Amino acid sequence: MGLKIIHIISKLVRKSFKRNNVISKFTTVEQLRAIMPGLLYGYLSEEEMPNSLELLSPPPEIASRAYEIDLEYAKKAVESNDKVRFLKAASDADLSFPIAAKCFGAVLEIEIDEQNTPKLYTLMRRVMTDAGLSTYAAKNYYNRVRPFVVNSSRTCTPDQEEILRKVGSFPSGHAAVGCAWSLILIEIFPHNKEAILKRGYDFGESRVVCNAHWHSDVEMGRIMGKATVECLFANQSFREDLVGVKEEMFEVLAAVRNKKDVN
């Protein structure tokens, strides 16, 4: 892409920043509940939480090769006619529970819900809080404008666009959550490692497909997901809960096997 086109886009981005001068900033669970009412407290204290502003380099500068790549990914997403993938991205966008608990269900071949797998269900909710919050230091600081604002194209969640305009794009909280979930789930289901990791990767890619995040937002979100999991494994409460989840899953999988044997 030529520098002239990049310059035009740069002007559009600056214009968008001026129009989007009221930014919603979040640093605590209570603040995030304004957009996610059912959010549980995570495991990590403020002191334990990885700081995205310290860990990540800034988002790509306009006219850089990295920014060109972001534009190319966004253009491909907007021009795609893959309706099935677009609908999947819309499904992945919903982080409300119990809906979000189902995103790994097909890969794990079990039903994750509050009744049958209460320990795993709660663990996933709390990890989501930690992974999501880990991204907000950088989100709040950079206030990066989202691709759908720049390219004036639809997202897979039109009902969320108003709030997305007010929340920084860099890095992707969804990508952080998907990555964190996958890294923890492979500890519980090591026999299904490759499929779980792929699902976590695709969960992040859904944000590009949705036209809600740039490619670099998603890549940096994954870094925060990994950093969050490292911090979680140093947290005693999380480790204790993880043991309980593994015991729960042993019983659930044993029941599934017995049911198959009977049939």
Give the active site residues: 174, 207, 213, 217
- Cα atoms in the 13 Å half-sphere on the side-chain side of 107: 24
List, in order, residues 6 or more apart from 261 with CB less than 8 Å away.
Answer: none
From the CB of residue 25, how many other CB atoms can be counted at a distance below 10 Å?
A: 13
Which residues lie closer than 8 Å to 85 by C-beta, 6 or more apart?
A: 209
